[in-house]
Structure 1
Amino acid sequence: MSQDQERLAGDVLLGLAHDGRLVLDAAEAETRVAELRRTLAYGYALLADPDYTGPEDRLREILDELPKYVEAFQQATKSFTPR
């Protein structure tokens, strides 16, 4: 697969959730979504910090990808069937 066709992790997770292959119970998904939202808030705070000297482009790429994780975990609960 060429680099421009490479599927990013968020796209892969969304595909798995859509296909019913990524399945989480609601409590687990809620925990993961909360953690991801905290991570997003922290990342945006870093970008807003004038003293931040890290790799800004890479951080932006990550912050663009994390909302896909949130959506995938939310979709994954719809496929969950308790045993």
Structure 2
Amino acid sequence: MHKFLSFNHFITPELIQILFFILVIADFISAIGAGFSVGGFWGFIIAVAYLVLAVILSRVFCELLIVVFKINENLAALREDKGI
């Protein structure tokens, strides 16, 4: 509990992993909806393509968020090394 109240440890990177799984579930539901809206063979092809692209974009989005936190950690380490 002390780590939670001190704000020295970020909980957001762990939350980003949870966000990714929520986004994948939402992508799956959206892909099913897109497939049923078109219907037939082309609906299946569109749903698969949509699912693949949406999951990739969700992953890239989450990785970009994590990169921001990694940059912050590296800047903090540099600040400590230089005594600033």
- TM-score band by shorter chain is 0.3 to 0.5
With a CA cutoff of 8 Å and minimum separation of 6, indicate the structure with the bigger relative contact order: 1
Query: Radius of gyration: which is bigger?
Result: 2
TM-score with structure 2 setting the length: 0.41
What is the TM-score normalised by the length of structure 1?
0.41
